Chain A
Amino acid sequence: MDIIPITIPLELPAAIWFLKFALIAFFVVHILFINFMIGGTFWTVFFRMLGKEDPFYSRLAREMGNTVTVNKSLAVVIGVAPLLAISLVYTSFFYSANNITAPLWLSIIWLVALAFVALYIYKYSWDSPNYSRRFKYFWGVLAFAIFCFVPLIFLSNINLMLYPDQWKNVYNFWQALWVPNVIPRYLHFMNASFALTGFFAYGYFHFKGKNNKADAEYYNRAQRLGIKWALVATALQLVFGVINYGTLPVVADSLSVLTLIVIAVIFAGVAVFMLANNLFVKDTFRPEWVLVAILVVVSLMATLRHEIRENALREPKKILANKTELYRSRLATFLKTYSPTGEIQLTGEAIFQDVCTACHAIDRKIVGPSMEFAIKKYSDDRNGMIEFISNPRKIDPAFPVMPKPPISGKEVELVVDYLLSLEVGR
């Protein structure tokens, strides 16, 4: 706890409630596209394999791949807003966690860039007769594998930032993985990606099918497949959700967390009920309602994560506030008694001490030659010395070339007069 960096002494650029709201709201949009990207990538690879026997799957895989092209780019660009917000709201905690996992944290850039390029190769080699099946699948599988790994880096970071008492034991990403709650959260997140991709497919193919009556059979089947995925994965979330909640550290838990979970489960239940009804009984509920219900669930989940953050950081924030206050009061007391020395005209000797002694001494060579040597050389050539100091050149290869000193012409003269007045080297 004692290494939490003290707060940056600048005003927040916006009201804290606004920043927190922006953090949650933009994060919801960001994470939805991330979910669609991960699940969609799985669909486009998995169903393409099934497509060998059934052309329906082939077409489905291709159309899902097209949505990934859009969703993945939106996911990245929209992610910048919550990144800015979290950096401002939790500066001391977020940046510290990033530092601990740094090499892996920075590798996200290159891993995701590689995954995106792989997805393009996968997409644009689809119909090409020049490449083998293995080549084509390789790129899709590679992209999916990267998408499975990168969330681990994010989650280990975002989790580590909540528990500063762990920072003393955790030195890298691999250790950060085993801080309580990371792996259960990861499983919960990945399964959510499959569930939400099911909901996405349901909505996407429903609305596409509306404008495409001729293809009703295809769109109908695609929608129903989406519903099935949504149902199964959402049901599984009961298991993953329980594990996730069960491993949540006690400090992060609270009544508000539990309340949000209950409300979220109710909304998820409503969505599941509507889906099951549409699938097994009769298409009575409009997809808009189902999607709104699940959007509420995702928003509740993001709010819940925020509650957990606030709970876990309650004590660390107090410690940080004390630490910051202590530092500031010490600084303020010091500055009250401190008065900087003003601009005064320095003597030649003072300028020499200030500017030249980094490299020169009077009686011996340091970085540059001794002043005894220089005084001897220029004893009858004041202007030569002024000229050299004003525009140093390389003379003796044994020494590095002297940088031009940052002093005015008048000051150069003062230094020269001081040096030449010395009773040395003659």
Chain B
Amino acid sequence: MEWPIFQMPFIGNRMLIAVVALIHVVISHGLAVGGSFFIVSLHYKSLRENNKRLGELAYRILRIFFIITTSVGALTGVGIWLTTATVSPVTIGSLLHIFFWAWFTEWIVFVVELVLLMLYYLGWKKYGDATGFKIGLFYLAASWLTMMLITGILGAMLTPGKWLVSGSFWDGFFNPSYLPQLVSRTFLAALLSIGFGLFIMRFFKAYQDQYPVVWRWAGKSLMILAPVFLFGVLSYYHSLPQQIGHLIPTALMTLKYAAYAKISKIIFMAIVGLMVLFGVILFIKQRDYGFISFVPVFLLIIAFGSYERVREFIRKPYTVHNYLYSNGIRVQEEPFLNKIGVSEFSGWVERSATETDPQLRLGEKVFKMECAICHTYSGLNGITRKPAVLQNAEIIDNFLRTYKRSHPYMPPFIGRDSERQALAAYLDKIVNHANAQPANTEGNY
């Protein structure tokens, strides 16, 4: 459409966002929110038991947490802005109009969290035990507050359901999945931090005498936290259909989700079982097994990546429910564009079009405007990987005409008949006549 197009070669736009987001989620949950829990807990233990060396070890682990959160963690946070806005400026532009104040509030809490983190870490020696620990508690509270806020904002963005009807932001914020999400995120953060903390601890060999103390505490914590986490995840999956139910009236989505959720639940149960087992071993034997100990944490990260993916999947084919399709076309304008055609607004894709034949060129432009947001050429979700549906121009055209109901998670084809036929011809060329491909089909430039 009238906004510029970005095509990430090979991995595709969605994977690009997913990579940045997952790194950020792991660091913000595991090292910031969870990290504050891990360090403050050890700090508390060291004060209560008057164990100075445990405090010193906690400080050294905090240093690593501090380094990673304030570099990669903070930058990937900003990176989500830059990346999503580049991939779909009209989406982020629209969301920004809608959610500005929520994000502005979030930003204020972020600044507060960062300042407290710096006071806590950089002032560890200066402020002494009593004041330092208090700052730590405030840091823990602030970083959890950021999570509490963001969970609601994400919820409001993804399932604005009631909010669209009632106009109250809080209906979107406290949506049915809010509490389950907050619980599972909170406990995920704690679990991840224990995994990361124990892993980092092993690099401080000078404090080996303190390892058993930490292991014992970590084991006990795992045994308590992991089941609560599982409870949060399961109630999250339980709460989702309520939302999908009234948002997406297509049975297919619910079905796909149900099949997915079933497998996903089993995987989470297995991982949590593994973590409890690991906790028992830590608690009783007070030793860990090097890299093997990190396996449950690693699995947990992967499983949580797919948990986030479900969240994203729910809003297809929209980015703002019933207002904006994933490819940036406003739902309201669909019939209008069907009449006048999308190529009326193809200034940006005209710049990067490489085809010379007029029909193929038109098809290429339509592809970039409507499909390229999710589909690469031969990379992830690439069109050349779907030969069954894209056999020849006639079958493709037929598919484009009718997939709206068979593939409800894809935005429908929008445009004039001539544009659809051109798109079919272009897809046919790319998929079935690979040799004729232009040299530069990946990339934007």
Contact = CB atoms under 8 A, between A and B. Distances in A.
Interface of A: 2-3, 5-6, 8-14, 66, 69-70, 73-74, 76-81, 83-84, 87-88, 91, 95-96, 98-100, 102, 105-106, 108-110, 112-113, 116-117, 120, 124, 168, 171-172, 327, 330-331, 334-335, 338, 340, 353-359, 366-367, 399-400, 403-408
Interface stretch (B211-219, B394-402, B424-432): B394-402
Nearest to A98: B86
Given A367-B388, A406-B251, A77 B111 contact: yes
Contact of A70 (B76, B122, B332, B388): B122
A377 B76 CA distance: 56
Contacts of A80: 78, 81, 107, 110
Contacts of B289: none
B212 to A, nearest CB: 27
Q: Is the interface of B mostly helix, strand, loop or mixed?
A: helix
A346 to B, nearest CB: 11
Nearest to B253: A406
Contact of B83 (A106, A124, A407): A106
A18 to B, nearest CB: 11
20 contacts: A3-B351, A5-B4, A12-B97, A80-B107, A88-B93, A95-B86, A98-B86, A102-B86, A106-B83, A108-B82, A113-B71, A116-B71, A331-B336, A335-B332, A338-B336, A340-B335, A358-B402, A406-B251, A407-B251, A407-B405
Given A120-B71, A358-B399, A403 B252 contact: yes
Interface in B78-105: 78-79, 81-83, 85-86, 89-90, 92-94, 96-98, 100-101, 103-104
B184 to A, nearest CB: 26
Contacts of A81: 104, 107
> What secondary structure prevails in chain A residues at the interface with B?
helix
B4 A109 contact: no
A357 B252 contact: no
B78 A83 contact: yes
Given A87-B92, A358-B398, A358-B406, A120 B98 contact: no
Contacts of B336: 330-331, 334-335, 338
Contacts of B335: 334-335, 338, 340
A70 B118 contact: yes
Given A5-B90, A77-B110, A338-B336, 10 more contacts: A5-B2, A8-B94, A77-B74, A98-B86, A109-B83, A113-B76, A330-B336, A354-B402, A358-B402, A366-B395
A355 B405 contact: yes
A274 B79 CA distance: 42
Contact of A5 (B3, B104, B118): B3
Given A70-B118, A70-B122, A406 B74 contact: no
B280 interface: no
A17 to B, nearest CB: 15
Contact of A13 (B101, B122, B444): B101
B252 A405 contact: yes
A64 to B, nearest CB: 15
Contacts of B406: 355-356, 358-359, 403, 405-406
B134 interface: no
Interface string B103-122: 11001001100100010001
B408 interface: yes
Most chain-A CB neighbours within 10 Å: which of B75, B83, B389?
Answer: B75
B328 to A, nearest CB: 10
Contact of B391 (A100, A168, A367, A404): A367
A116 B70 contact: yes
Contacts of B110: 77, 80
B418 to A, nearest CB: 19
A106 B3 CA distance: 18
Interface in B45-97: 63, 67, 70-72, 74-76, 78-79, 81-83, 85-86, 89-90, 92-94, 96-97
B339 interface: yes
A108 B92 CA distance: 19
Contacts of B345: 6
Contacts of A95: 3-4, 85-86, 89, 92-93
B20 interface: yes
A9 B345 CA distance: 16
A84 B78 contact: no
